[in-house]
Structure 1
């Protein structure tokens, strides 16, 4: 049987950051990614201010700067009277007063290239997790399958589950989950954007739906909010009905909607909001969406996942090197990350219950042309816009790279 120090299941942002930081501590780490590359249709393309600071601390700032990206420095709501500000990121403390929008595959490739420079880091693509190895009540490694049908087992001192909101590791571990209801799902699609049009991220809400437009340079990344469980019904109405709904919501997009040739161009995000009651077993730790699936409200899921990864790596690296990893050490990860996770989810639940649920039901004040109180306050007292900006772009407990993982800024050649 093969052996490594840590197996990270899932090559997303949380898994790659955890693997990189652990490798820089001298821990032998193997990241398993079931796909052959990162070129997939990601919607989570946000790199938040606190993650940009982390990249600087890891010495990756210059390399990231060369990756094509757009900067979001404001969040606004589009009312009939025009755009109204909600969050002003230019008021944030620190160097990065924005969120970077970058294709997630570029971000992951950057982390992979940095990891490959560490002698104890291994990334195995086309390698899918299939099961946990256990011995005497302890998780001792994983079973896997490769793209050519080969199977194998990999023993480890620690398995880190970073395989997302539908985590197979979490399912097999049988960890108890607390699930929260959500009123919506999201349709993702792209529409052309013209020079001089809306910048940042802009929300538009109608009588029973909502649309978020994110500036991606020459196109808008669009998130259309639909009532939970209505995907099949709405698709049955066809692409013409879809275009009609979009044009009613944002009339100046009407001509561009012809670029949506069929509803195959529209991807569903099945929204979940849940949290594990316990994030670990002996020999196993869950982080990111595997530990707490976040709503897309605020787009904070990736930021929380990356911060989980940094906290986890910093806490377990020393005990792993000394051969002293215990369940008490693993429990510290949840204790450190519970408050920002729970508070962020509480805010998301408040937004969905007080605003999104009545909006999608057609009973909100917005549907009758009323400007919500928070927006009126933001307009009257602009300094208040730093509060949502901080919660979204930085978070309640931003994590910083441990000293052993920090490097001087340098440009890393892309593979």
Structure 2
């Protein structure tokens, strides 16, 4: 079996397939396996998958266990809401909520794959440029002329997926006009960060937000600043440097309280990240070729679930292979039934959450009034997400039954 892409989704898929006794070849275009970016949030639904894949202990080595998530008003400095990650949260979902460095998570997955070198082959420097089906098998050609064929090809090649281009032919992803600046800095450089090592803080304001949390056992402080650009032109090249500039970042954050402004000044200005997503797809598969992770369901970061949902994909595909050992078509069909509605719901929720947290005026007033009324252990809005569950079955947690995700594509 061939996996195109060696990020979180690709390596976790390799682990899931190999755990069912299937040999897997992973090709990655970069010269080495590594993650661009800084922090990643791992909710209980992701940790359950890492445990299933046998890499949870390694993945948890350098994580931080935040005691809570705070939603703060970036204009006034007032607390809006709190979500408690303590004992009740852990009992409810069976795992904690952790934050870590993306590189640390990927290292755990790479080491897990290397430990199964009898079944998993990892190869870098392979850029897929063409995908076809030949005699019922997936065929991938790379820029260096090498060609790979396999009974199952899994596209885990991210937002700009070449494999998706063959499977769905649905054009480029949608740029939202939001842009992110990221960076992890020594924790002592950030005002008040050392005193809040066990807190994940989300500062929100009109057309902006700033997420802050410690990583690497609290030695680094991860920050992500996001804002909606007034210069964005949906008809122009979304990768143009004419919009979402550092100057716009400073102007957007200039209205916020001093602590937010000072923190934003530490963001890495060298790389900007325009934010993209897609409308949910009705299928991720064409013949023996299917998609996982951002190649299947790219979503905005407002749910902090992109990597988590990719992990869920890997686990579901592995279960499909286990249940339908001699019928790859049935295995892929099982995978889609288990995942496509839930991942689609996450895509749509991510859009809506972004609109809500970036709200202004009456929307912001109503948002703050609603959320401030919730106690820290009220998990009603995250139960469906963190408890996991399949497409067809309800998710049962103590005291609550969460219906299966809606089929809405609005």
TM-score (ref. length: structure 2): 0.79
Which one of the candidate residues 293, 298, 304 is aligned to 2:303? 298
Q: Which residue matches 1:268?
A: 273
**Does residue 278 of structure 2 align to residue 279 of structure 1?**
no
Quick check: which one's helix share is greater? Answer: 1
* Deviation of the 1:271 alpha carbon: 2.5
Which one of the candidate residues 330, 333, 345 is aligned to 2:332? 330
Cα separation, 2, equivalents of 1:172 and 1:47: 31
Secondary structure in 2 aligned to 1:151? coil
Cα separation, 2, equivalents of 1:19 and 1:298: 25
Gapped regions of structure 2 (runs ≥ 5)? 233-239, 392-410
* Deviation of the 1:221 alpha carbon: 1.4
**Does residue 69 of structure 2 align to residue 75 of structure 1?**
yes
Q: Which residue matches 2:124?
A: 125
Question: Structure 1, residues 268-302: CA drift from partner, whole Å, max 9, x if none?
Answer: 13221332221111111111111111111111111
* Deviation of the 1:220 alpha carbon: 3.7
Runs of 4+ in 1 over 6 A off after TM superposition: 177-181
Higher RCO by CA contacts (8 Å cutoff, separation 6 or greater): 1
Cα separation, 2, equivalents of 1:271 and 1:31: 25
Secondary structure in 1 aligned to 2:299? coil
Q: Which residue matches 1:38?
A: 33
Q: Which residue matches 2:168?
A: 174
Cα separation, 2, equivalents of 1:208 and 1:253: 14
Q: Is the 8 A contact 1:87 1:387 kept in 2?
A: no
Secondary structure in 2 aligned to 1:142? strand
Q: Which residue matches 2:13?
A: 18
Question: CA, structure 1 residues 309+257, in 2 after alignment: closer, same or farther (shift >3 Å)?
Answer: closer
Q: Is the 8 A contact 2:2 2:153 kept in 1?
A: yes
Cα separation, 1, equivalents of 2:230 and 2:33: 29
Cα separation, 2, equivalents of 1:122 and 1:116: 8
Q: Which residue matches 2:181?
A: 187
Q: How does 1:45-84 map to 2 (within 5 A)?
A: 45-66=40-61, 68-79=62-73, 80=76, 82-84=78-80
Gapped regions of structure 1 (runs ≥ 5)? 1-5, 399-415
Cα separation, 2, equivalents of 1:332 and 1:229: 44
TM-score (ref. length: structure 1): 0.78
RMSD: 3.1
Question: CA, structure 1 residues 204+62, in 2 after alignment: closer, same or farther (shift >3 Å)?
Answer: closer
Q: How does 1:374-389 map to 2 (within 5 A)?
A: 374-378=370-374, 381-384=375-378, 386-389=379-382
Deviates more, 1:198-207 or 1:124-133: 198-207
Cα separation, 1, equivalents of 2:65 and 2:300: 22
Cα separation, 1, equivalents of 2:211 and 2:265: 19
Q: Is the 8 A contact 1:175 1:276 kept in 2?
A: no
Secondary structure in 1 aligned to 2:290? strand
Question: CA, structure 1 residues 170+382, in 2 after alignment: closer, same or farther (shift >3 Å)?
Answer: same
Cα separation, 2, equivalents of 1:372 and 1:36: 46
Deviates more, 1:387-396 or 1:338-347: 387-396
Secondary structure in 2 aligned to 1:210? strand
Q: Which residue matches 1:406?
A: none
Q: How does 1:349-360 map to 2 (within 5 A)?
A: 349-353=351-355, 355-356=356-357, 359=359
Cα separation, 2, equivalents of 1:298 and 1:152: 38
* Deviation of the 1:13 alpha carbon: 1.3
